[in-house]
Amino acid sequence: MDSRPSDLVLDSRIQVEFSTTFTYRFTVQSTVSSPRHVRRRLRKETWQVVKLLGSGSYGTVSLQKCLTSEGKVELQAVKMIGKAVVSDGIDYFKELEAIAKFSQKKYEGLFVEFIGWYENDDSVFVVMEYLEHGDLDSHLNAPMPESEAREITLQIAEGLKLLHENGFAHRDLKPAEQNVFVFHKGPDWWVKIGDFGFSKRITEKDGLQTWVGTPVFLAPEVQMLYPFGMNGDDTFSHYTEKVDIWALGVITFYMIFHDYPFTPKKPIGLLQYIQGAEIYTVGN
């Protein structure tokens, strides 16, 4: 792998030891012994996997519990990314950089909180806050009131605005598979954006041109579908961060109608739509 971790990523690395059953994490604790002296010591924590929560982009997510916590039970979500995925063009250091950056206090409440990371010879482990309500998709069992869908859409849009202003595109936005999490259930929804596995800096030299994401949420330009008069030559082979806005539109449509705007079974397909056909909606 050619890339190197940034200082932000290196500073968030957690020292660990592994056993067959537990992961031992060593964290620095500071105590003030006098007005002028701060003592630092390593605290050894014992963590155990409780259950598998699900899977995301090129990784599985498990729930882990701290067996040595004092008082309140400590639970965290840990995403395991196999290092072999690098051969598929996925750079886990970029995911770490993105999630670490957007866990800073000025972005609080919009993104899943990043706690740190560690690794062994085969995998990288990303430690995040555990959100007990799971991802948004698990709550979308029927059409949602427009007022609630609007609130969720605004929250995701606010997060995307900050991503894009900082030069990042998410590229795999969807309500399922650990991408949009529910912090507080409706009717007063509070959601957070997660899973930066496919995120990419828009300013990188090769731009955005790789087909990544989930088909039903992919913007036309990612699929190289164009209106009349445009084609898929090199002029149009790149796309922008606006593909995230398309994905958000699909999520909003699904929340309101409990259906996707474009599927193989719909009378109006995506290509027909971008070439001028009216979109088919439920009840038409």
Q: Token pair for residue 6? A: 């940034």
Among candidate residues 135, 172, 195, 244, the one labeled active-site is 172
Q: Token pair for residue 48? A: 């155990």
Q: Token pair for residue 32? A: 């003030």
Asked if residues 180 and 134 have their Cβ atoms less than 8 Å apart, the reply is no
Question: Which residues, in sequence order, are CB contacts of 282 under 8 Å at separation 6+?
Answer: 257, 259
Per the rule left: phi > 0, alpha: psi between -120 and 50, beta: everything else, 53 is alpha
Our answer to whether residue 206 is catalytic in this structure is no
Collapsing DSSP to helix, strand or coil, 22 comes out as coil
Asked if residues 262 and 225 have their Cβ atoms less than 8 Å apart, the reply is no
> β-strands 168-169, 200-201: how paired?
antiparallel
Q: Chain centroid to CA 259: how far?
A: 22
Q: What amino acid positions are annotated as catalytic residues?
A: 172
